[in-house]
Amino acid sequence: MELWSLFLSAFIVGFSGALMPGPLLAVDIAETPRKGMITGPIIVLGHAIAELAVVILLSLGLAALAENRIISDAIGIVGGSMLILMAINMFRGLKSVGIETEKEERAAKSSWRLVLDGILTSLSNPYWFIWWATTGSAFLVQSLRHGTVGPPVFYIGHILSDLVWYSLVSFLIWKGRKLIVGTGYRILIAVCALFLLYLGGLFIHDGITGSI
């Protein structure tokens, strides 16, 4: 996988995950009416801090494992399988997926409190750990093929996807537009799910053939 392909894949996979309602999105929606458009970027900062720690720790541990062909291939197969499961769940949830917002009169949290919320929300989500133990590790094994520059490229692409989506959500809410899922949103999710199916199949293929 070339560096540009690694960056793009990390962005699309990250964006696909961000699109689906979860704890971090719930915090973004709840706090934006009080904090404003900067809510999304602030929360993502906390999320980015948590993910940076994981990327560093995993990269240090996977650097040696990546040299073992059997282990790296197995990580690719497991990570690819998780991507396919993620895509299937996205397809299954297309009919019911929705985001609604309600403004509440409550004091705004400080920026540092929102950063902390971004960190704690990430760390308290069990699916976040599962993702990094499987798909995230598979991406990092791929990125380590490019040496020390690989993990930062993957990390930037991954975090940028969160920044783009959560910032957009905050912008729409702050401008007074109720965010309701429509056909366009479902199409976007479906397209991302198709990409996950492709990428998951590619990871599994590379793991089986030893091409990782």
- How many structural domains are present in the chain? 1
Position 72 scores a pLDDT of 75
pTM for this structure?
0.79
Contacts of 181 (CB under 8 A, 6+ apart): 97, 98, 99
- The per-residue pLDDT for range 35-47, each reduced to its tens digit, is 889 999 999 999 9
Q: What is the mean pLDDT of residues 2-27?
A: 88
- The per-residue pLDDT for range 146-183, each reduced to its tens digit, is 888 999 999 999 999 999 999 998 988 888 766 555 67
Domain membership of residue 198 as a residue range: 3-209
**Helices 69-92 and 3-19 sit at what angle, rounded to 10 degrees?**
40
Nearest CA-CA partner of 24 in 2, 41, 7: 41
Which residue intervals of the chain are DSSP H helices? 3-19, 23-35, 39-65, 69-92, 111-123, 126-131, 137-144, 150-174, 183-209
In contact, 125 and 23? CB cutoff 8 Å: yes
Q: Let me know how long the chain is.
A: 212
**pLDDT higher than threshold 70 for residue 67:** no
Q: How far is CA 149 from the centre of its chain?
A: 20
Distance, CA of 177 to CA of 188 (rounded, Å) = 19
Q: What is the mean pLDDT of residues 71-81?
A: 83
